[in-house]
């Protein structure tokens, strides 16, 4: 049974994350929001912090540490890398989401490598920063419809296509590119390839200017006859129609709860600051009295806090299930859907409740509202999460429920 208290062995880690968020992320947040595409040099010395979080799971990890669930199933309650990383992520995103996304070696590409790479590949790519390239101009939420192709030519695969919205694409040393070995076969032919920066035919064409998370770079790439060693294909090179591309998709069952954790941390920051500003204006929240007996602002704050608690609990559940080797695809999508939507609604409402203070640059509330929107979009939009949830609850396949 899940225990909602922070496990004792993680309290030091959570405290360290709080300190980093308070003393480094939050004070520099506005500067790098204005200086878009400038790399926060303060992060170089902090990369080891999240490395330590990921290693806390004893090899089972979370986030950039990936998920490897083979082996004997243990009994009892396990609090491991997924829960620790989720708790640390909440604290760091209380400071700044863009900074967290810019942490070296913590990208979705690192999670994919850790999840499905061979032992030889794990050693070869160890300690390197990897981004993930999935989305294409003609393929947004439907990852199975990607058009980037990979053709085997001797000892290399030749990749051709275009990738957009690659988080940390400019800064990462490696990019995990999703491509299809045969468009006619469908999703079963989709594989992931590790492409090293500087490989001929792999071109960075632009950096996106964004609404929020401006401390994090978002890149677009074109692949033109890009030759990648066949040893850089992650997982099994054979096409298995029965299995589909579940191997590369399993990464999301671990990383979606972490995106939910980002939204939870951001929502908490907005609620705490709004509560302080409202208290200074004379609005007091009485938690011993019904909302209908209090002011409209206090009642609204109570509603927002209840919404936050629901997102928080779903996030803990999804992370805990991953630690305990329980199938959590449904819960991961529930957490991502709930926290993503709640994060947007809570931050926007906090801006509204605080009036001119919420809208002005003297406070971070308006920035948090801008940052929140991406958390409802990337790693599967709100609509895609609801579709996944419906499939799981109704027992439908992707072909039966589109």
Residues labelled as active-site residues = 379
CA distance 250 to 236: 14
Q: For residue 323, give Cα distances in angstroms to 93, 258, 265, 376.
A: 22, 13, 21, 24
Beta-carbon neighbour count of residue 367 at 10 Å?
A: 21
Element (H, E) at 225: strand 218-229
List 401's β-bridge partners, or say none: none
Residue identified by tokens 């949830």 is: 389
Residue 289 phi, psi dihedral angles, 5° rounding: -120, 150
Strand pairing category for 174-180 and 130-133? parallel
Beta-carbon neighbour count of residue 231 at 10 Å?
A: 12
Half-sphere exposure of 317 (CA within 13 A, CB side): 17
What are the helix (H) ranges across 198-295?
246-249, 251-280
Residue 397 phi, psi dihedral angles, 5° rounding: -85, 170
Strand pairing category for 190-196 and 174-180? antiparallel
Task: State both tokens at 325.
Answer: 């080797």
How wide is the angle at C-alpha 249 spanned by C-alphas 86 and 206, nearest 5°?
85
The Cα diameter of the chain in Å comes to 75
């Amino acid at each position: 049974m899940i225990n909602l208290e922070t496990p004792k062995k993680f309290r030091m880690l959570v405290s360290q994350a709080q300190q980093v968020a308070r003393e480094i992320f939050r004070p520099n947040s506005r500067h790098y929001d204005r200086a878009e595409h400038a790399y926060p040099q303060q992060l170089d010395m902090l990369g080891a912090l999240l490395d330590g979080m990921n290693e806390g799971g004893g090899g089972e990890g979370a986030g950039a540490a990936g998920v490897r669930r083979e082996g004997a199933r243990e009994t009892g309650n396990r609090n491991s890398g997924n829960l620790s990383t989720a708790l640390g992520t909440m604290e760091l995103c209380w400071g700044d989401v863009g900074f967290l996304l810019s942490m070296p070696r913590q990208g979705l590409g690192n999670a994919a490598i850790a999840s499905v790479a061979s032992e030889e590949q794990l050693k070869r790519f160890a300690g390197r920063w990897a981004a993930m390239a999935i989305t294409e101009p003609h393929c947004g939420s439907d990852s199975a419809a990607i058009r980037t192709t990979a053709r085997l030519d001797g000892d290399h695969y030749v990749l051709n296509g275009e990738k957009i919205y690659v988080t940390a694409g400019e800064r990462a040393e490696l990019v995990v590119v999703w491509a299809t070995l045969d468009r006619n076969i469908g999703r079963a032919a989709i594989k992931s390839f590790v492409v090293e920066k500087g490989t001929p035919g792999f071109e960075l064409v632009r950096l996106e200017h964004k609404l929020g998370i401006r401390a994090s770079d978002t890149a677009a790439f074109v692949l033109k006859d890009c030759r990648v060693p066949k040893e850089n294909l992650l997982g099994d090179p054979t096409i298995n129609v029965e299995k589909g591309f579940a191997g590369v998709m399993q990464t999301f069952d671990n990383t979606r709860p972490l995106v939910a954790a980002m939204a939870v941390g951001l929502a908490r920051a907005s609620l705490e600051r709004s509560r302080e500003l409202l208290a200074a204006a004379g609005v007091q929240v009485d938690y011993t009295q019904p909302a209908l007996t209090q002011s409209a602002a206090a009642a609204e704050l109570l509603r927002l806090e209840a919404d936050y608690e629901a997102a928080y609990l779903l996030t803990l559940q999804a992370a805990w299930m991953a630690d305990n080797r329980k199938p959590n695809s449904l819960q991961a999508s529930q957490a991502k859907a709930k926290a993503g939507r709640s994060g947007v609604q809570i931050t926007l409402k906090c801006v509204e409740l605080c009036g001119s203070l919420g809208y002005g640059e003297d406070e971070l509330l308006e920035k948090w509202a801008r940052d929140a929107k991406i958390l409802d979009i990337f790693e599967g939009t709100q609509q895609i999460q609801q579709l996944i949830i419906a499939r799981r609850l109704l027992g439908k396949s992707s072909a039966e429920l589109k």
